[in-house]
Amino acid sequence: MTIIVTGGAGFIGSNFIFHILKKYPDYRVICLDKLTYAGNLSTLKSVLDKPNFRFVKADICDRAAVYQLFEEEKPDVVVNFAAESHVDRSIEDPGIFLQTNIIGTATLMDACRKYKIKRFHQVSTDEVYGDLPLDRPDLFFTENTPIHTSSPYSSSKASADLLVLAYYRTYGLPVSISRCSNNYGPYHFPEKLIPLMIANALNHKPLPVYGTGENVRDWLYVEDHCKAIDLIIHKGRVGEVYNVGGHNEMTNIDIVKLICKELHMSESLITYVSDRKGHDLRYAIDPTKIHNELGWLPETKFADGIKKTIQWYLDNREWWETIISGEYQNYYEKMYGNR
């Protein structure tokens, strides 16, 4: 089988490539990535020389480049991780999110139609559902929860999801969609909460927390997410949406305090900054459908996963320090410097 993985030099995409190459050594995997600020070719260093792996630098919005790749590789499956994904950046500059997340997805699906793909899988997010109240722990997102977006980022992802389902209904394109809760683990770009706090704590820098830090997220170790997508593309029903979640809700402030404890750092580093515009209160996924249909359950307990994640950042300082010393630093100052 030949799989094209878009956005494979990013956080979840790279972990998915590692998973597939390890589990299916006879598969051919092609990574298509534009290498924007969040794409890092050094992440894929361990697989670049494998005979059944190919890296192609291109934009999923570039129709000519996408079609040429499909012509060369005749893929069986496409898994689309490629996306602009940071909420704060979408508030600052919505346009690039609409371009990549909507037009790019359409471009890929047009190629899938032309080259008779066996499965197009769209990697989406639980953020398309909006948020849940903090005082209703009994409420969860299901696949039937209405879409109710809060940010330009989540709106662009919801738009892509609707387009994917429209291509299934209109053209019969064999598609599937997964909507996952917050991921954490190795190679997580250091602008997101957990790696940002680890990196700042290790450098004895302030730990900026939005508002009061009471916002709740459902955390899932990235390897468990990759296993869920693996199941969906091989055994999931065409035309279906699958929610993927960890049943592991934690407030942002508790996450930060846990990281301080694991690193033996003082909580005095925690600094509260003005809240994000339209900040969602709580995300919580009900993964009953994927469990009942495909037998998936998260395997990594958060207490174990966060220890593994922290250790990975301790063991791979060069990877994230190189990122922080570059363009990311200018962005960091812009976002947090005057709050």
**Pair 119, 89: CB distance under 8 Å:** no
Reply yes or no on whether 126 is catalytic.
yes
Reply yes or no on whether 153 is catalytic.
yes
Query: Would you call 326 exposed, middle or buried from its count of C-beta atoms within 10 A (0-12, 13-18, 19+)?
Result: exposed
Residues 105 and 124: their CA atoms lie apart, in Å, by 11
Residue of 50, 59, 60 lying closest to 29 (CA atoms): 50
The token pair that represents 166 in the structure block: 């429209």
Residues 183 and 194: their CA atoms lie apart, in Å, by 10
Reply yes or no on whether 127 is catalytic.
yes
The token pair that represents 163 in the structure block: 């387009």
Distance of CA 143 to the CA centre of its chain: 18
Residues 17 and 82: their CA atoms lie apart, in Å, by 13
- Identify the active-site residue in 33, 59, 127, 131: 127
3-state secondary structure of 311: helix
- Identify the active-site residue in 59, 84, 126, 280: 126
- Identify the active-site residue in 129, 153, 210, 242: 153
**Pair 63, 107: CB distance under 8 Å:** yes
**303: part of which helix (H) or strand (E)?**
helix 302-315
- DSSP of 127-191, one letter per residue? GGG--B-TT-TT--B-TTSPP---SHHHHHHHHHHHHHHHHHHHH---EEEEEE-EEESTT--TT
Residues 263 and 201: their CA atoms lie apart, in Å, by 8
The token pair that represents 72 in the structure block: 């060369």
The catalytic site residues sit at 126-127, 153
